[in-house]
């Protein structure tokens, strides 16, 4: 069974209206998978455990010294013993302080190391996911998985590492010391211990669900903010949305988080209160029983003092047992959510013995009987990474079917067809943004599935209608395609893409920050920057998807001239809407309903009097005038 399938099988049945992502139980084996992460920092963890043991031993043994001070020193009238033992108590207090300081250092160090390991691993894994994953996953949910969940895992693990050991050890040592002093009183105490544990057990189950629901809602809030708080999202809300409704939606989620956190605090507090009541009764019992035994002469006064001190020290670890349980639950849930992402196998992977495509000469492209369905949500992402419960996947009709064609090397192939025909989809299959459901694609005679993804993508340059720029300087955006490009290279590329004059007028030239998604620039300017980026990369295979659609006719004609000379010997696929481009193409593919209806040159296709002739008459002919 695949990880994907086994995870689906683990989800228990939902109650109506309940999110399956919240109901999911922690996957078995999660604890085993956490250990390697902790072992990465074994030295720090070993030191952490050592100082924790030192602290626990000091906590449990210092009351025994108090007994000796009272019984062997004060009551025996031996001031030398009193001074020596008091100095020992003071010395132990200093050692304990050093141990606690080292404990804080170690847990911080091991915890941050763990965060680093998990973060880099999840980031690298998410980068390997195909485009379909990103189209089905809200960004905020992903960011929350990398931030909140990873940090929660760290906090919980560091608390667990130090607290669980110190809690258990202190409990054992303190009870051992109490047994040593008076087994009768300690036996009564032990009978009461299950009373501490009962409420804890009852609440832990509910806590686990609350923690997961809290994390899920946190991720949903992150997604909401991520979608609304960028230029495009904010603009959409202003033009079409209702700010009050948006606030109400956000407020609803924030309120639920508040309720969950309050429930967590209240339940944690309820346990603490129960524990303190039981401890108070316990103290009364020890005073009553111990006091009577002292009066009877069965117990020494120093022993009673030591027992009371030990009793007070028992309170803390028992109380901590509740935090340890919550931390353990948080750690398990957080790690489980992180592992869930790491277990999501990318739909597009490199073949085990993939080879590098080394062509520098323009390659040809061959599609053979290619059929393609867009992958469904369930196949591409995780239930817990989606903002809402998905509808059951419906069977889809193929977007492309039985597509067979050949785009010759070093030639310009134009793809035309009605809107929704599948032109963009076809181009996405070439750099393996998606894989065909059936059929094969060959570049320079190599099946694209047998090539390394990096070499395949290095061979191809793409410019789309909606050019994307990062929120960085123009220089950084251009160098993204060619990190070693010099200022001279950048200037030349910008000049060829007819954007240099605009760049020089910007306040900081190439060092101007382009804004979120390049919003500081107009659509046409972004497209020209994107073309300059392509020219810097100089790939042997170029795909232009309406790459000049935002330009005015004059600028577009000038750019076409540049591209004509620059891409002269490059294999170019162009989704065209301009008659001039189509007419110049060496080869035209006419696409309709996801399949090639016709192919040939402009003249041949006009003579055929088929779909192309119709498109020409309705869309292109007027451009002749
Ligand atoms: N990510 C996606 N998931 C599912 N279906 C998609 C996705 N992207 C596009 N489609 C669908 O695939 C079909 C083909 O879309 P495509 O963008 O390839 O058409 P196109 O010919 O390039 O159209 P246009 O000329 O309008 O850009 C459309 O019906 C579209 O709704």
pLDDT digits (tens, 9 = 90+) for 85-138: 999 999 999 999 999 899 888 888 888 888 888 888 888 888 888 888 888 887
How many degrees, rounded to 5, is the angle at CA 76 between CA 302 and CA 80? 105
For residue 435, the CA-to-ligand 1 centroid distance in Å is 15
Contacts of 317 (CB under 8 A, 6+ apart): 166, 167, 168, 170, 171, 174
Q: pTM to 2 decimals?
A: 0.72
Element (H, E) at 221: helix 183-228
* Model pLDDT, residue 93: 92
- Check residues 216 and 254 and name the one with the higher pLDDT: 254
How many degrees, rounded to 5, is the angle at CA 245 between CA 243 and CA 249? 115
pLDDT at 176 over 80: yes
Site to substitute for ligand 1 among 130, 371, 378, 425, most atoms within 8 A of C-beta: 425
pLDDT over 90 percentage in the chain: 19
Please indicate whether residue 380, judged by its CB atom, sits closer than 6 Å to ligand 1. Answer: no
| Cα separation values, 106 from 42, 49, 101, 172, Å | 11, 9, 9, 24
Q: Coil, strand or helix: which one is 352?
A: coil
Same fold, 30-343 and 365-624: no
Domain boundaries, the chain: 30-343, 365-624
- Check residues 12 and 250 and name the one with the higher pLDDT: 250
Per-residue pLDDT, averaged over 295-304, amounts to 87
For residue 466, the CA-to-ligand 1 centroid distance in Å is 14
pLDDT at 18 over 70: no
For residue 460, the CA-to-ligand 1 centroid distance in Å is 21
Q: What tokens does 61 get?
A: 């043994």
pLDDT at 382 over 90: no
- At 523-542, the pLDDT tens digits run 888 888 988 999 888 889 99
Q: What is the ipTM of this complex?
A: 0.96
Please indicate whether residue 420, judged by its CB atom, sits closer than 6 Å to ligand 1. Answer: yes
- Specify the residue with its C-alpha closest to ligand 1, atom 17: 424
CATH placement of domain 365-624: 3.40.50.300
* Model pLDDT, residue 557: 77
For residue 595, the CA-to-ligand 1 centroid distance in Å is 13
For residue 416, the CA-to-ligand 1 centroid distance in Å is 14
- Specify the residue with its C-alpha closest to ligand 1, atom 6: 374
**How does the average pLDDT of the chain come out, rounded?**
82
- Specify the residue with its C-alpha closest to ligand 1, atom 12: 399
* Model pLDDT, residue 1: 38
CATH of 30-343, one of 3.90.550.10, 3.10.580.10, 1.20.1560.10, 3.40.50.170: 1.20.1560.10
- Specify the residue with its C-alpha closest to ligand 1, atom 2: 374
Task: Tell which residue, 530, 534, 536, 568, has the closest CA to residue 550.
Answer: 530
For residue 92, the CA-to-ligand 1 centroid distance in Å is 73
Q: What tokens does 5 get?
A: 């399938």
CB-based contact 317:167 (threshold 8 Å): yes
For residue 373, the CA-to-ligand 1 centroid distance in Å is 11
- Check residues 21 and 211 and name the one with the higher pLDDT: 211
Site to substitute for ligand 1 among 134, 135, 370, 374, most atoms within 8 A of C-beta: 374
- Pick the atom of ligand 1 nearest to 131's CA: 1
For residue 371, the CA-to-ligand 1 centroid distance in Å is 14
Please indicate whether residue 423, judged by its CB atom, sits closer than 6 Å to ligand 1. Answer: yes
- Pick the atom of ligand 1 nearest to 132's CA: 1
For residue 422, the CA-to-ligand 1 centroid distance in Å is 6
């Amino acid at each position: 069974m695949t990880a994907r399938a086994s995870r689906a099988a683990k989800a228990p049945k939902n109650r109506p209206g309940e999110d399956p992502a919240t109901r999911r139980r922690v996957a078995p084996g999660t604890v085993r998978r956490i250990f390697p992460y902790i072992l990465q920092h074994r030295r720090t963890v070993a030191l952490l455990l050592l100082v924790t043991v030192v602290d626990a031993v000091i906590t449990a043994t210092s009351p025994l010294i108090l007994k000796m001070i009272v019984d062997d020193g004060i009551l025996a009238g031996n001031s030398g013993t009193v001074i020596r033992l008091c100095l020992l108590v003071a010395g132990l207090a200093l050692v304990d302080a050093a141990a606690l300081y080292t404990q804080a250092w170690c847990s911080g160090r091991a915890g941050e190391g763990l965060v680093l390991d998990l973060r880099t691993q999840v980031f690298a894994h998410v980068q390997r996911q195909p485009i379909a994953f990103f189209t089905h996953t809200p960004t905020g949910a992903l960011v929350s998985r990398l931030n909140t969940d990873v940090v929660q895992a760290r906090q919980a693990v560091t608390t667990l590492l130090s607290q669980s050991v110190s809690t258990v050890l202190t409990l054992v040592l303190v009870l051992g010391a109490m047994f040593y002093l008076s087994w009768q009183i300690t036996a009564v105490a032990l009978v009461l211990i299950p009373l501490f544990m009962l409420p804890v057990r009852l609440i832990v189950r509910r806590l686990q669900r609350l923690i997961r629901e809290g994390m899920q809602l946190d991720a949903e809030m992150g997604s909401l903010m991520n979608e609304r708080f960028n230029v495009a999202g904010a603009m959409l809300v202003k033009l079409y949305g209702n700010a009050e409704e948006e606030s109400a939606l956000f407020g609803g989620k924030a309120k639920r988080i508040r309720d969950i956190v309050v429930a967590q605090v209240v339940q944690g507090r309820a346990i603490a209160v129960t524990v303190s009541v039981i401890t108070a009764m316990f103290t009364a019992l020890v005073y009553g029983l111990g006091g009577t035994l002292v009066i009877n002469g069965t117990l020494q006064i120093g022993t009673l003092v030591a027992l009371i001190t030990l009793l007070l020290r028992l309170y803390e670890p028992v109380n901590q047992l509740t935090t340890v349980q919550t931390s353990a639950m948080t750690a398990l849930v957080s790690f489980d959510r992180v592992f869930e992402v790491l277990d999501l196998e990318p739909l597009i992977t490199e073949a085990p013995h993939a080879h590098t495509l080394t062509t520098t000469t323009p390659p040809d492209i061959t599609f053979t009987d290619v059929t393609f369905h867009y992958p469904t949500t369930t196949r591409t992402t995780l239930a817990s990474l989606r903002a809402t419960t998905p509808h059951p996947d419906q069977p889809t009709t193929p977007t492309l079917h039985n597509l067979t064609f050949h785009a010759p090397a070093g030639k310009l192939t134009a793809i035309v067809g009605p809107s929704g025909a599948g032109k963009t989809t076809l181009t996405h299959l070439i750099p393996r943004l998606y894989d065909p459901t059936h059929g094969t694609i060959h570049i320079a005679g190599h099946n694209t599935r047998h090539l390394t993804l990096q070499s395949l993508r290095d061979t191809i340059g793409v410019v789309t209608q909606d050019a994307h720029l990062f929120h960085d300087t123009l220089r950084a955006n251009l160098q993204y395609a060619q990190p070693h490009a010099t200022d001279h290279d950048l200037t030349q590329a910008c000049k060829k893409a007819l954007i240099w004059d605009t760049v020089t007028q910007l306040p900081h030239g190439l060092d101007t920050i382009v804004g979120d998604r390049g919003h500081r620039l107009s659509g046409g300017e972004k497209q020209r920057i994107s073309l300059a980026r392509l020219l810097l990369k100089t790939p042997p295979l170029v795909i232009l998807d309406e790459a000049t659609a935002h330009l005015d006719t004059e600028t577009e004609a000038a750019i076409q001239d540049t591209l004509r000379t620059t891409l002269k010997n490059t294999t170019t696929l162009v989704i065209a809407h301009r008659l001039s481009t189509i007419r110049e193409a060496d080869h035209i593919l006419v696409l309709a309903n996801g399949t090639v209806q016709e192919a040939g040159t402009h003249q041949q296709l006009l003579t055929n009097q088929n779909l192309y002739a119709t498109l020409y008459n309705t869309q292109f002919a007027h451009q002749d005038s």
